[in-house]
Amino acid sequence: MNKNRKALSILMRARMRPPLSPTTNRINQMQFPPMDGSSNNKASTSQNASTSFHTDFERVQQSMHSAMSMNKIEILDAALDDFSEGYYGLSNENRRTLLLALAREYDLNRKQVRELMKQYLGLELPSSDKPVENVHEGEGSFSAFYRIELNLRHSLKPMYEVLFERLNTHPGGLKFLSIMRSDILSFLAEENIVSLRALDSYLKEKLITWLSPANLQLLHITWDDSASLLEKIVAYEAVHPISNLLDLKRRLGVGRRCFGYLHPAIPGEPLIFIEVALMRNIAQTIQEVLWDDPPIPECEATCALFYSISSTQQGLSGINLGKFLIKRVIDVVRRDMLTISTFATLSPIPGYMQWLFSKLAPTEISDSTFSENLLKPEEESALLEAAEEFTIGENGMEVLRNLLSSHQWINSEKLSSVLRAPLMRLCSRYLLQEKKRGKALDSVGNFHLQNGAMVGRTNWMADRSEKGLKQSAGIMVNYIYEVEHIEENAQSYFSNGQIRASDEVRSYLEPEEDLQQETKD
């Protein structure tokens, strides 16, 4: 363990980034010929560099073509190696050009598809009234249909499927495909290109199949695991950053659990991991989980609290591995710890402040029918009185916006007390009523609700960190996973967007608002 501690100490001081792939390291270590110092050679050096980059791109493009067209295993493996290594060495712009070429030039052959469809539509279906004297005669009348259907299935597969399939079975290929998709998503965020969108959709479907729970291994991650694995936990923790070795050890020690999903093709690197606190009751603040008193004896725990779930691969975005991980962890904890009967989260509300500021934004049209006063009369009066010496504004909405733009209000007990009622009420509205395409607007909420959870409780001043205040004014939410209702809740949410919530959370809403929501559900 000394090696582990030494490696991790270096890591914590450096606040490490995710490790480079072996291929990337090899590329970084390549030795380039020294540049001639004479001024006469500067132009030619620049030209040679440009030519070199152009040649490198063409070489990668050729190796990509070879990886799809060749069939000899020895040559194919070399082509896949050349392609993946060459791709890592390309500039961002060249990667974009290459992926566009892959999406457009190696798509399916639509002329062939149209011709086969014409042939198919031109066939005459055998009459169902005519008796079939023998089995062979009946099958023979459909032989043309079977032949064209087979050809259609083949022609409806784009050529780049071959590349994806071959990379998936190639050493390091699955990780490479994840990196490739991460690039695709990055380029799509800049410009929505239809062919690139289709490429992403096809690759995503393939990854969903290859990363099914049957192909994943659940690992209980402990302090005794390798330093390289623990480094990745530190590097990829996305919800509550790990501050030091003591923090890491605590999260992996008594009263805590960390589970990750690994794939055999990407050894030693969890695709996603979840952190669990074993507690007597459902925590109301993140301080209780991370920084307060030592954990209770595990035999006294009745609640398993999921307080952080992090994906390590940007290229797996939109592939809900977390759903399977949570359900698997619930099964494992129930089996190993019979005293645990409650499964819940302590979750951030990342979109709350963004939504609230959009509602508080000033409108240029006075008395607009689209404007809405978010504050009740008594809330506005109390706010204006409490904020008189702190901020300026013509009305409660302006004062609220000005106060929330700065985090100084949390240092005033008076302001904090006055803001609690409207912020908690509006948070309940945001979680239960604000929707996008019929589903919860909040991304974390949507994730847990589609997994079968219910909204259990909102918690005031649960996360006082800069991030927590910026995202949700410090409010966090407990989602409850009632084992006997998980599938029922998930089905109701998928079918009609119905959100189950406790009476406590619904009590923040106006009775008529709550009734309208139940009617919609």
Please tell me the distance from the alpha carbon of residue 174 to that of residue 266, in angstroms, as a whole number.
Answer: 7
461 Cβ partners below 8 Å, 6+ apart? 285, 410, 416, 474, 475
Instruction: Decide: 340 and 301 in contact? Cβ < 8 Å.
Output: yes
Burial class of residue 372 (count of CB atoms within 10 Å of its CB; 0-12, 13-18, 19+): exposed
Q: Which of 84, 155, 178, 347 is catalytic?
A: 347
Residue (of 184, 183, 181) closest to 196 by Cα position: 184
Q: Is 240 a catalytic residue?
A: no
Helix (H) or strand (E) holding 185: helix 173-190
Residue (of 493, 417, 405) closest to 455 by Cα position: 493
- The dihedral region occupied by 260, where left means phi > 0, alpha psi between -120 and 50, and beta the remainder, is beta
Count of H helices and E strands in the chain?
A: 24, 9
437 Cβ partners below 8 Å, 6+ apart? none
Q: Which of 448, 465, 485, 495 is catalytic?
A: 448
Instruction: Decide: 271 and 310 in contact? Cβ < 8 Å.
Output: no
Residue 72, both tokens: 């000899």
Q: Is 347 a catalytic residue?
A: yes
Please tell me the distance from the alpha carbon of residue 472 to that of residue 51, in angstroms, as a whole number.
Answer: 52
> Does residue 348 sit in helix, strand or coil?
coil
339 Cβ partners below 8 Å, 6+ apart? 299, 300, 301, 302
Residue (of 478, 483, 473, 484) closest to 501 by Cα position: 478
Residue (of 266, 264, 253) closest to 224 by Cα position: 253
Residue 20, both tokens: 């480079």
Active site residues: 347, 448
